[in-house]
Structure 1
Amino acid sequence: MAETPPDAPAPPHPAATLILLRDGVDGLELLTIERHAGLRFAPGATVFPGGRLEAADHDPAWRASWPTAEPAVGPPADLPHRVAAIRECLEECGILLAQERTGPAGPPGPSAVAALRAALAAGEGFGTALAAAGFVPALDRMAALARWMTPETLPRRFDTLFFLAPAPPGQEPLCDGGEAVAAQWASPRRLLAEAAAGRRRLVFATRMTLLRLAGCADVADAMACAAAGPQPPPPILPVPVDTPAGPVFRIPAGCGFSPLETPAENVRLG
């Protein structure tokens, strides 16, 4: 087996993020969480719920959770990422994007969510816990917006799919106190303004996502924005570049995000 060159970039960990949406008084609102200040990656940052994929997220049994009227048309290739995004959202902020296994679709109540989180904390598998509670993940309610990759210059890297989904009604965020210590609903413009005023810390991919969604009027507009993009989304890898005006991080033209160049001093990567 060939050895990895010592100066080769670290391989990125597959990850997934779920951006829950709702229509507020001032328009589109997103659910964000504040990461614990003691974490290794993005301590104290405002992010969307999400995390690394686990082996169980790839279980072929999840394919049975994908609703389709055409048996020949199977679930999308990003199914494990969708499972991971829903699982992480439940673990971090206590909201479960799911529907009943039988009967009309509806979100689980607070007691069911609490029981599921307790089961996961005790080591029970996500699929087993969901089945026991009578729910299936609402995998088809999600739309992939983007795929962000951590720059190759960092020792700790992620390859993350960002999903959008309308928030399930009747559920309120309750942070786990471990990774997430606070949660709030806010418009993209408000979050960007608070970051500009120094009251909030945003990693680069979060900031760029907020800039893109700031132009969306409501949930329907945001979901349409994701649906209009290429599926699956192409990877976006920020690259450090020296320019006459100073060092910047550059992203590919045509990726759907702007600006394409951001001064390096304004970029927080972790």
Structure 2
Amino acid sequence: MTSKDSVPVRQAATVLLVRDDPFQVLMVERHAKAFHGSAMVFPGGVVEKADWAEDWLPYLQGGEGLDAAERAARVAACREMFEEAAVLLATVSAQDVNPALGFFEMISVSGGKLRLDALTPFAHWITPIGVPKRFDTRFYVCHAPEGHDAVCDGVETVSLEWLTPAAAVELPLSGPRMIAFPTKLNLQRLAESANAQAAIDAARMRPAYVTQPVMLQTERGPRVRIPAEAGYAVTEGLPIGH
């Protein structure tokens, strides 16, 4: 039998894609049978083996100086954003690439580069011990590229919408269209800014911190708790499914 604390931690990346007039963030709804099924999340997913490949190096803008893990996470963030929402963060337009190709081949034959320098680290969370699937997730914030209409893929994501951070924070923590505790806290952090550029500037100034919640049994039932040093306004919340 596998101990809960030996569940492997998978690398993941997700993107807070933001735009102005009004200030909004893109949220996508996972399909019902997915992990966190029917949850409203930021586009993102697991870092795949191909995201680590050094073959990417000639096709990256802003990859210089990044370590391998950071580079792979940013490639994954770009790939997942394209796969889930049809938004391409590259020096070529989404209309000028062939989505029938694999992601690397699509970029490499396009004459363009992935814009890793457009991604600003926003947060970094590790799933607590005691849950069946664990992720080491890097959150990025990014301006929505001009002229790119977000479209859900209908497979991993079944709907999407642009929401003001204040409205997104009000989504429930359980039931249909739920948001998880980390999503809620990062939406609250986003809502502290007045516009997209202010959110990106704030993220650039924020000290790097890896937030790892712990699961607790309290008099009020199960809770997750994070250290105050993580810099969020809230330090305790409901775990997923409660």
TM over 0.5: yes
Mapping 1:61-100, distance limit 5 Å: 61-67=55-61, 74-77=65-68, 78-100=70-92
Structure 1's unaligned 5+ residue stretches are 101-107
Residue number in structure 2 paired with 1:234: 209
Which residue pairs with 2:230 in the alignment?
255
C-alpha displacement of 1:32: 0.8
Pairs within 5 Å for 1:206-225: 206-225=183-202
> Does the C-alpha gap of structure 1 residues 74 and 93 become closer, same or farther in structure 2, counting only changes over 3 Å?
same
State the Cα RMSD in Å: 2.5
- TM-score with structure 2 setting the length: 0.90
Instruction: Report the residue type matching 1:267 in the other structure.
Output: P
1:138 aligns with 2:115: yes
Q: Indicate the SS of the match to 2:192.
A: coil
Answer yes or no: is the 8 Å Cα contact 1:49–1:92 preserved in 2.
yes
Per-residue CA deviation, residues 202-223 of structure 1 (Å, 9 max, x unaligned), is: 0121111111111110011110
The answer to whether the aligner puts 1:56 opposite 2:56 as a matched pair is no
**Aligned-partner Cα distance in 2 for 1:14–1:66:** 20
Give the C-alpha shift of residue 129 in structure 1.
1.3
- Note the C-alpha offset of 1:97: 0.6
TM-score, structure 1 normalization: 0.81
Give 3-state SS (helix, strand or coil) of 1:178's partner. Answer: coil
Mapped contact 1:238–1:249 kept (Cα < 8 A): yes
When residues 5 and 190 of structure 1 are mapped into structure 2, their CA distance, relative to the original with a 3 A threshold, is closer
Separation of aligned partners in 1, 2:39 and 2:220: 28
Please tell me whether Structure 1 or Structure 2 has the larger radius of gyration of its CA atoms: 1
Alignment partner of 1:98: what SS? coil
Q: What is the count of residue pairs matched by the alignment?
A: 241
More divergent stretch after superposition (220-229 vs 245-254): 245-254
Gaps of 5+ in 2: none
Identity rate of aligned residues, in percent?
A: 35
Pair 1:76–1:164, CA change in 2 (3 A): farther
CA distance in 1, matches of 2:176, 2:38: 11
Give, in whole Å, the separation in 2 of the partners of 1:196 and 1:158.
19
3-state DSSP of counterpart to 1:18: strand
Assess, with a 3 A threshold, how the Cα gap between structure 1 residues 269 and 150 changes in structure 2: closer, same or farther: farther
**Residues 1:86 and 1:269: Cα distance change in structure 2 (over 3 Å):** farther
**Once the two structures are superposed, what CA deviation does each residue of 1:80-138 show, in whole Å capped at 9, x if it has no partner?**
000000000100110001114xxxxxxx04x335x22x22xxxx3x2221021222100
What whole-Å deviation, never above 9, does each CA across 1:140-197 have from its counterpart, x for those lacking one? 0111111111111111111110011101010111111100011111111111224379
Q: Aligned in 2, Cα 1:5/1:170: closer, same or farther, shift over 3 Å?
A: closer
The separation in 2 between residues aligned to 1:251 and 1:9, in whole angstroms, is: 21
The residue that corresponds to 2:96 in the other structure is: 112
CA contact (8 A) 1:33 1:49 kept: yes
8 Å Cα contact 1:191/1:200 also seen in 2: no
Structure 2: distance between partners of 1:269 and 1:227: 33
Shift of 1:7: 5.0
Structure 1 distance, partners of 2:221, 2:175, is 23
